[in-house]
Structure 1
Amino acid sequence: MSLRIENLSLREVQKLVLLSQRLPASKFVGTARNATLTAIEHLGYIQIDTISVIERAHHHTLYNRNPSYQAAHIQELIADKKVYEYWAHAASFLPMVDFRFSLPRKHAIASGKQKHWFKQDAKLMDLVTARIKAEGPLMAKDFDKKGIKFGEWKTAPTKQALENLFMQGELMITKRVNFHKVYDLTERVLPSSINTTTPTQEEYGRFLITNYLRANGVGTLQEMTYLLKHTKAIVTGALKQMLVHGEIAQVRVADSDYYVLPESLELLNKPLSRKKLHILSPFDNLLIQRKRTSAIFGFDYLLECYVPQHKRKYGYFSLPILWNGKLVARMDSKVDRKKEIFHIHQLTLEASLKNKEKFAAALNKELKSFLMFNKCTAVRLHTTSPSSFQEYFEQSYPELLS
């Protein structure tokens, strides 16, 4: 029989989401690297992004789940075959224990049922595979022909072949060198102990539901299938079965219905530390679905690096700030790596933020750690909105100012 909880308040759902996202981070036992692996396995994926105006998104997201995080952890976990690269809703680091659940997408791309960006050139793909088989792991540049240049938005044919082979599962990424992918045959990368059986549709649907709800607290069908092609029917069928057997429950929040794991509701009995402030990546798992962020936290967010400069309101790369259990501000940031200065070009507070003095103290306390994470020794605050907040900031920890 299905379990149904009639109502949860918005504040309760916010708490449930944050505790499920492990913000703030849970205490860990063991090594810092194991804590990083635990975070990846719990969240299900960590999105990779190329933007590097501050520390890259995957490092940033893990830093917020593991205070002892080090950038070397990911490559070490890949080398240990505990983590691998593939596609979630975007390019991501994924836990190796879940490898078999990447197979439905790979098979769909290989069979042509699901399209990828590049057309498949079977002859070139065979040649690329043969070289890697004979020579060992290779990068795209190892296939480049000297003197041939491609336009800004064009990709070399051999790189397209590598990406197609990667997306359909014949190649995997063994590591990155200066952020360039190194490809090898999947059979040489996978640990021998890993389960490589293709999940049934029911197994796949149950995995998508359980994986999402464990990491996010609550979710809708649209959220659980976000940017995952051809999965809505599969997830819909699994939801019906799991509801009947009481494996998931439904909750109503305001005028919306969400699904939840019954055991996750126990998190509502745990305290949520609201003093800790988090400076979040635009690609953080908490924020990646903007409509959800707006519905649950009342925070409308747009990453404006993709917006023409004259249309930007908050800046090129504004970082949402979580404090007191709410998203209360955003700061447009950039690192000057040569001078080791962290620039806050614009810090904008939400109108709902009332206790600016306590917020300023919490922000400056977190900035001490965040500057170290970004290999900076000083911060320079350029403008604030409202402008009066700059005084609170400067009075809190003046030793940080450059």
Structure 2
Amino acid sequence: MTNPYSAKQWLQLNMQQQGLLQPLASLPKLIQQLSYVQIDSINVVERAHHHVLHSRLPEYSATMLDDAMSDKTVFEYWSHAAAYLPIEDYRFSLYRKQQLQQGGKHWFEPEHKVMREVKARISAEGPLKASQFTHESDTKNGTWWDWKPAKKALEQLFMQGELMVARRDKFQKVYDLTERVLPKHIDTTAPSDTEFAQHLIQRYLSAHGFGNLQQIQYLRKGLKPLLSKTLAQLCEQGDIASFTDSSANTQHVYFYQPTLTLPTAIPNKVWLLNPFDNLVIQRQKLRQWFGFDYQIEVYVPEAKRQFGYYSLPILWRDGFVGRVDVKADRKNHCLLLQNLHIEMQTLTNQHDELNDKAHFVSALIEAINHYCTFNNCQRWQLIQCNDKTIAKMLLKAIQQSS
């Protein structure tokens, strides 16, 4: 049960399994490797799900995800949150759907009469959006928990598996009957408890390289006893291995796939990762293993924000070195770097600090340019930076390109 790698080596393995070092052949294969891509509605810059895919597929465009939905190689459902999932995993979504059909609760208490009416209309008319339903008490008060009855019914039918998302229209879900969306060849056999647990474990370890019980069951209630038992069985069979870590003053058993090998090289590259990126979404793991204390401040009152509303974690080579608050000024086609915060203790090289920063800035500019184009911006502007040397280097780069 000895830890076979250092924290830095685990990060390298994590990066490799996350598809950051070698782009996979296609978007469906990438989503299958990641196991899910979280969907988020914040749009101060390009939305999270597109950004996560763009970070791993250099030529990615939003139409590729539309095509994958149209080709039915991916589908929408709930992972630990709303997500795009590989269609091969459809049968494992039945585990949650059955729980809801048997009385489990998602967000709202089911209103069965409205659900029957909504489903009957879609059955007769074809795919519909929530906005195509009306209700006599409709109000526009802007709070998601005051959804009108038809929208609640649509979501409940979707979560129970009676409806699927056929596509999105300007980010609005377009719902249709499951039997009209799901490909005929897809296995619809509900998994047993053991099969479902094995699926979660194998998907997580394949996507991340390693993890403990809490991380594997992330935001999934009531699965701890089942997962714990299944992890022990898989270890006993030799399918996975384990080690004990006590670096955070408490002992945790971590599991990993013993067949994995470390990447041979890490490029001099910067990744501007999304706050909802699969690599960083579990903040405690990020802090414990990779020494990066990160919090998205979208939900923090403005007066209490330290780094900005939508700060992207900055990964350079095999270490996190800071964050940058970004906003797309779409009217002026300009990407605003509202607050670039470099964490010096992770960046500086005692022997040649200036040269180290030059290598970093070169890679950072390439990443910013790529992200700028991805956001349909023609230029970028640095507004604030806590490192004067890096700020001068970036401002010089802007002047040279103008």
TM over 0.5: yes
Equivalent residues of 1:340, 1:378 under 8 A apart: yes
Deviation at 1:231, TM superposition (A): 1.7
State the match for 1:301 in structure 2.
Answer: 294
- Matched residues in 2 for 1:27 and 1:174: separation? 27
| Cα distance change, pair 254–18 in 1 and its aligned pair in 2 (3 A) | farther
- Matched residues in 1 for 2:124 and 2:32: separation? 34
Counterpart pick for 1:12 among 6, 9, 12 = 9
| Cα distance change, pair 185–350 in 1 and its aligned pair in 2 (3 A) | same
Deviation at 1:129, TM superposition (A): 0.6
Equivalent residues of 1:361, 1:396 under 8 A apart: no
State the match for 2:353 in structure 1.
Answer: none
Deviation at 1:233, TM superposition (A): 1.8
Cα deviations across residues 281-337 of structure 1 (Å, max 9, x unaligned)?
Answer: 000000111101111111011111111110000001001111021111100000011
- Matched residues in 1 for 2:388 and 2:81: separation? 37
| Cα distance change, pair 286–188 in 1 and its aligned pair in 2 (3 A) | same
SS at match of 1:262: coil
| Cα distance change, pair 127–85 in 1 and its aligned pair in 2 (3 A) | same
- 1:231 equivalent in alignment to 2:215: no
Deviation at 1:397, TM superposition (A): 5.1
- Matched residues in 2 for 1:246 and 1:261: separation? 9
Cα deviations across residues 349-372 of structure 1 (Å, max 9, x unaligned)?
Answer: 012211222211111012221111
Cα deviations across residues 13-51 of structure 1 (Å, max 9, x unaligned)?
Answer: 111111111223x1455xxxxx11111010000000000
Counterpart pick for 1:259 among 252, 255, 271 = 255
- 1:50 equivalent in alignment to 2:41: yes
Counterpart pick for 2:234 among 238, 242, 252 = 242
State the match for 1:216 in structure 2.
Answer: 208
Equivalent residues of 1:9, 1:254 under 8 A apart: no
SS at match of 1:55: coil
State the match for 1:121 in structure 2.
Answer: 111
SS at match of 1:304: coil
Q: Match of 1:62, as an amino acid?
A: L
State the match for 2:377 in structure 1.
Answer: 376
Equivalent residues of 1:106, 1:167 under 8 A apart: yes
Cα deviations across residues 224-262 of structure 1 (Å, max 9, x unaligned)?
Answer: 000112222221121011010000001345634310011
State the match for 2:87 in structure 1.
Answer: 96
Equivalent residues of 1:314, 1:346 under 8 A apart: yes
- Matched residues in 2 for 1:335 and 1:27: separation? 26
Name structure 2 gaps, 5 residues minimum. 349-355
State the match for 2:269 in structure 1.
Answer: 276
Deviation at 1:160, TM superposition (A): 0.3
SS at match of 2:259: helix
Q: Match of 1:199, as an amino acid?
A: P
- Matched residues in 2 for 1:297 and 1:71: separation? 31
Equivalent residues of 2:168, 2:174 under 8 A apart: yes
Q: Match of 1:260, as an amino acid?
A: Y
Size of the aligned set, in residue pairs, is 388
| Cα distance change, pair 309–28 in 1 and its aligned pair in 2 (3 A) | closer
- For CA contacts below 8 A with separation 6 or more, give which structure has more relative contact order: 1
Percentage of matched positions with identical amino acids: 41
State the superposition RMSD in angstroms.
1.5
Deviates more, 1:142-151 or 1:47-56: 142-151
Deviation at 1:7, TM superposition (A): 3.6
Equivalent residues of 1:23, 1:64 under 8 A apart: yes
Counterpart pick for 2:32 among 37, 41, 56 = 41
| Cα distance change, pair 191–129 in 1 and its aligned pair in 2 (3 A) | same
- Matched residues in 2 for 1:145 and 1:120: separation? 17
- Matched residues in 2 for 1:297 and 1:377: separation? 34
- Matched residues in 2 for 1:184 and 1:47: separation? 21
- 1:159 equivalent in alignment to 2:151: yes
Deviation at 1:109, TM superposition (A): 1.2
Equivalent residues of 1:7, 1:253 under 8 A apart: no
